[in-house]
Chains A and B, each alone.
Chain A
Amino acid sequence: MREILDRASDGARLSEADAIALIECAADDLPALLAAAGALRDRSKGRVVTYSRKVFLPVTNLCRDRCTYCTFRKDPGEPGAWTMTPAEIAQWSRRGRALGCREALMCLGDKPEVAFKEYRETLARLGASSTIDYVARACEVALDEGLLPHTNAGIMSRDEMTMLRPLNVSMGLMLENVSTRLRGSGGVHQWAPDKEPAVRLRMIAEAGEARVPFTTGILLGIGETPAERAQSLVAIRDLNERFGHIQEVIIQNFRAKPEIAMADAPEPDAMEMARAIATARMVLGPKMNVQAPPNLSPNEIEMFLAAGINDWGGISPLSKDYVNPEAPWPHIARLAERCARAGFDLRERLAIYPEYVDDYWVDPKLRPALDRHGAEIGGGAS
């Protein structure tokens, strides 16, 4: 254990076995793991923790997948089923901008047009040939309103990502987990064809080839083992070694909700989150941006900082977290206070990290808006 931590701290590349040993370490070893991860973070990121002011735009909550932990997705005709109109997207963007938001998070269901005739008719009425075609329009609207789009629309083809690239400063897809077991009978992804790990790994690779700064991460508490969490982190590290496009890695915990099939499933506890965060830091190295959502673990802010995160992700002063509607985002000022008490400086960032703002990663058309926002938040963030 000590030896693995020393090697990682010296910049060595950890093996899958190393990663599994870290995440499964004995309780007695946990303080050492957290300390090493925190120190590794400090070396590159210092005591700065960032967030992005965003507006969450659920372009459509229809989805062809049915993950048993999801409360976001709806069937057509179900109460709450919603596809935003261009006017709604503009209106929300404007209100978000007025509240100081800079990121437009386009977060939506995966390929609903494949499953639902009604939705195909909706798209036709909106004059769009596909969901991604419509997302492109939503991105244009958000850009016009002064926001920087970041699209997370599930599985996209290489062509679709290329089409969206001039309209997005970054894109994302949670890997969730590399375990194929989760797609088996009784698994959370049994009815979610887009959650096939090979499909997700391929898309993330194609995003790298398409030069898209990319956000991904793992989801804890969906039936995976700690070893599978570690394997997923290693898979993300390997993809980033090939393309260098992984700008941040999210460690997200499942939150049970009364209305879902998994209502009774145990939520991963804070120590499991801390193990995963620290292992992520050790596997991914000092430069990676490691993120945990603050609204899903409001009591663990200090522990997550200690375990090696340097980012809280998007925080919206306007829209709720549509994926975890029961968990309000913290007020930014209050989060800043807590970070400060723990010795961290909370700073705003954009939906693209400063290290990616260059001609290789960013379409030139986005630069003026990007530079303007960068100048506003200061600190050489872009």
Chain B
Amino acid sequence: MNLQMLRDYVDEIEAAPLGALMDKASPGVRAALKRSRERQELTAEEGLLLYTAEGDDLRAAIKCADLARAEDVGDEVTYVVNRNINFTNICFVGCQFCGFKRQRWESDAYDHSDETILNKVGDAVARGATEICMQGGINPEMPDFKYRDLLRTIKGAYPEIHIHAFSPMEIMFGARRVRMEYPEYIAMLRDAGLGSIPGTAAEILDDSVREILSHKKVDVATWVDIITTAHALGVRTTSTVMYGHVESPRHVVNHLNLLRDIQKQTKGFTEFVPLRFIHENTVLFRKGLVSEPPPKGTLDFQMYAASRLFLRGQIDNLQTSWVKLGVELAALTLKAGCNDFSGTLMEESITAQAGGDSGEFVPVDVIEDKARAMGRVAVERGTLYKKLYGKKAPNGARPITTSPSPAHQADHHACGGSGGG
């Protein structure tokens, strides 16, 4: 389906009465959706039915996801004015889905100086950013307390900016490097100014899948340990999934189930961010471990609708990813359960390096226009989902509404990001 057909598809679902769509759904899907309408928690089996729903079943699921979104978080579409900074692309992990990482001797390897990073932060603040989203490669030559010191450097110069940084993979690496336990290490980062942690490096939380994707990467138990430790210390995190590669639908649903269980205990997740696998420049694709993924559309609607319904009552905010899907399709997912449009980013390179073609920056006025075109209202939020309605932190200027100068488009990655981080 092309974009216009997808637009017609979601519009028809929105216009159709719930009862008519439910009547056409198969009995199993109808029963699951009915239970969701009554705010009962879906089982993993029901989650699987919804994630693999097609045809009339998928239409009914999308309808219910859109209604649940409206009931649980309202009609406003939130976004954050942020800047991504991928401070280095030097990385030894070797994730097979990544097109971003470089060995240190490669000509386009980089490791930003403090000065470069401060310039980027200063530029972002001047353009109205409230958040710096910061992740990088896992650089074996990193100074021991690099992460802590980066936080101190930035917060020293810009005390009011919210720093959303360091995936569980980076936390694991950073803590091991200085032989600290996670509670001690995360508390140290928190006290140095870490505002929240991206729940990236999650990919699919299944060790057998992770073995294929990246055998050196943080394992499931450690990922959960770091995330729940952060939550216990009052550091909130996002949650993510990377879908559309070697995983099976069952893996995705188990992943959702694990996130939902964590949330029941900690209430520490701010949002859930499904991230479609971008295959073009990745080892996975070149080696033939994944075939050409399905065209954008159905799989993404399945993902967002099932996530909204499966996580209902636990994780309210469902973020679409314009970086992965493109702005136009991302806008359509606002009618399939999503309520958040992610951030302006200003620079993004992880997805771009993997072959993504959505660009690195979306100005506020584009987000506003896309929301309006969907019959919704865009509202700027802070990282922790406080809606701003024009009230910024004292240092926050008006949000940027024009494209950045070419100088700002030089580098890299998406928060919540590539699934990489």
Contact = CB atoms under 8 A, between A and B. Distances in A.
Q: Do A and B bind each other?
A: yes
Interface of A: 64, 66, 68, 114-117, 120, 183-186, 190-193, 261
A115 B71 CA distance: 8
Interface string B182-213: 00000000000000000000000000000000
Contacts of B377: 190-193
Contacts of B75: 64, 114-115, 193
A68 B390 contact: yes
Contacts, number: 37
Interface string B364-386: 11001000100111010000000
Contacts of B71: 117, 120
Nearest to A261: B390
A184 B401 CA distance: 12
Please list the 5 inter-chain residue pairs (A to B) with the smallest Cβ-Cβ separation, ordered nearest first: A115-B74, A193-B377, A185-B365, A191-B377, A185-B368
Contacts of B365: 185
Given A185-B401, A193-B377, A117 B70 contact: no
Given A115-B75, A193-B375, 19 more contacts: A66-B389, A68-B390, A115-B74, A115-B76, A117-B71, A117-B72, A120-B71, A185-B368, A185-B401, A190-B368, A190-B377, A190-B390, A191-B76, A191-B377, A191-B379, A193-B377, A261-B389, A261-B390, A261-B391
Given A66-B389, A185-B401, A193-B377, A116 B74 contact: yes
A32 to B, nearest CB: 42
Nearest to A120: B71
Contacts of B376: 193
19 contacts: A68-B389, A68-B390, A114-B70, A115-B74, A115-B75, A116-B74, A120-B71, A184-B368, A186-B398, A190-B377, A191-B76, A191-B379, A191-B389, A192-B377, A193-B75, A193-B376, A193-B377, A261-B390, A261-B391
Contacts of A120: 71
Interface of B: 70-72, 74-76, 364-365, 368, 372, 375-377, 379, 389-391, 398, 401
A186 B400 CA distance: 12
A371 B384 CA distance: 58
Contacts of A261: 389-391
Given A190-B377, A261-B390, A64 B74 contact: yes
Nearest to A66: B389
A191 B72 CA distance: 19
Contacts of A192: 377
Given A185-B401, A191-B377, A114 B390 contact: no
A261 B391 CA distance: 8
Q: Which of A114, A190, A261 has the most CB of B within 10 A?
A: A190
A114 B74 contact: yes
Contact of B364 (A64, A66, A185): A185
Contacts of A116: 74
Nearest to A184: B368
Contacts of A117: 71-72
Contacts of A66: 389
A114 B74 CA distance: 6
A183 B368 CA distance: 10
A202 to B, nearest CB: 14
B120 to A, nearest CB: 25
Contacts of B74: 64, 114-116
A244 B390 CA distance: 40
A116 B73 CA distance: 8
A64 B379 CA distance: 13
Contacts of B379: 191
B218 to A, nearest CB: 36
Q: Which of B71, B72, B364, B377 has the most CB of A within 10 A?
A: B377
A173 B75 CA distance: 22
A192 B378 CA distance: 10
B70 to A, nearest CB: 7
A68 B391 CA distance: 11
Nearest to B372: A183
A184 B376 CA distance: 13
B39 to A, nearest CB: 11
A84 B390 CA distance: 30
A68 B262 CA distance: 39
Contacts of B375: 193
Nearest to B399: A185
B274 to A, nearest CB: 24
A183 B391 CA distance: 17
B385 to A, nearest CB: 14
Contacts of A186: 398
Nearest to A183: B372
Contacts of A183: 372
A155 to B, nearest CB: 13
A50 B368 CA distance: 44
A85 to B, nearest CB: 24
A182 B390 CA distance: 15
Nearest to B365: A185
B76 to A, nearest CB: 8
Nearest to A192: B377
A183 B365 CA distance: 12
A115 B364 CA distance: 23
B257 to A, nearest CB: 25
A336 B401 CA distance: 52
B47 to A, nearest CB: 23
Contacts of B391: 261
A117 B313 CA distance: 12
